[in-house]
Amino acid sequence: MRIYVTQPLPEPSLGDLLEGATIEVGESGIGEDQLIGRVSEVDAILSTPPVPITARVLSAAPRVRIVANCAVGTDNIDLAACRDRGVVVTNTPGVLTEATADLAFALILAVTRRLHEGEALVRSGTWTGWKPLELLGVSLEGKVLGIYGAGRIGSAVARRAVAFGMTVFTVVAEDGPERFEELLRCSDVLTIHVPLTPETRGRFGDAELGRMKPGSFLVNTARGPIVDEAALVGALESGRLRGAGLDVFQHEPKVHPGLLSRPDVVLLPHLGSATEEVRLSMARMACEEIARLFRGEPANNRVA
């Protein structure tokens, strides 16, 4: 069995669960053309979110039987092309729920309490001591946390919000447009927890951000293209939004230049699941899906 892994993963995972397989591990930043040149003889691909598994890649990999994605989202994989070729696709749900919810709430706290600005002030060496009006933020108690997407992660964020004395307002895919409009109108902080689909791509653009509650905050730890970054910059510049916390970006790893210098925006490099324990669990889960397939067993987390 030959396996191509698109980026290095935490160990013990590959050598432990895929013992005896011939494994090639790619490097970060590999492009589609480079990937095509490396998968012609492989039986499985263990993919990671930055690397697209396109129809072209699959056409160049006629022996591939499974694409095991080391992530919950599968927007980096052409699922239709996999179905057409009979290629199994799996993901890694569950294990990253709490860590991602922790990070989402960390961003909520960071942007509402202006932690980024406060740390920068202390590090600058210009801080002259406590002042009654310095870097006043916003308390969470009594505020409304709007959650766009109440699946595993959104529900975990909701539990944290209740502990902080917030009121939670959720919107799920089945809700009508009226509830989405209420989400925009009532949320003091709006946090995004939906997968990237044709319906959610660009869901928060000029019109939607312009209808958000004045002075509110937007947090995104889901997928970058759900938010139009140019529109977000405009909403921040106009004062409609008071701040934003982003762990993902529209054209990742590129970030809209209008966001980079803003003190009211907290930017993180896609760290939602980035704990030692969680990333190892994700790697092992993806490896186990490949091992199960080649043992003739059904996948535990099949998405296509």
Write down the catalytic residue from 32, 117, 182, 252: 252
Sequence-ordered strand ranges (E) for the chain: 2-5, 22-25, 44-47, 66-69, 88-90, 144-148, 167-171, 189-192, 216-220, 241-246, 265-267
pLDDT over 90, % of the chain: 98
2-95+275-294 and 97-267 have identical folds: yes
Give the model confidence (pLDDT) of 75-122 as tens digits: 999 999 999 999 999 999 999 999 999 999 999 999 999 999 999 999
Residue of 223, 256, 279, 292 marked active site: 223
The catalytic position among 270, 279, 284, 292 is 270
Tokens describing residue 199: 């319906």
- pTM, to two decimals: 0.96
pLDDT digits (tens, 9 = 90+) for 149-169: 999 999 999 999 999 999 999
The domain 2-95+275-294 having CATH identifier 3.40.50.720: the answer here is yes
The mean predicted confidence, pLDDT, of the chain is: 97
Confidence (pLDDT) at 113: 98
Which whole number is the average pLDDT over 4-26?
A: 97
Crossing angle of helices 152-163 and 97-112, rounded to 10°:
50
CA-CA distance, 127 to 292, in Å (whole number)? 58
Q: Does domain 97-267 have CATH number 3.40.50.720?
A: yes
Task: Give pLDDT, residue 30.
Answer: 87
pLDDT of residue 29: 82
Q: Domain-by-domain residue ranges, the chain?
A: 2-95+275-294, 97-267
- How far is the CA of 24 from the CAs of 4, 8, 102, 300, in angstroms? 5, 10, 33, 24
Please report, as a single letter, which amino acid is at residue 249.
F
Q: Please tell me the predicted confidence (pLDDT) of residue 44.
A: 98
| Annotation says 223 is catalytic | yes
**pLDDT number for residue 28:** 85
Q: How far apart are the first and last CA of the chain?
A: 21
Reply yes or no on whether the pLDDT at 296 is more than 90.
yes
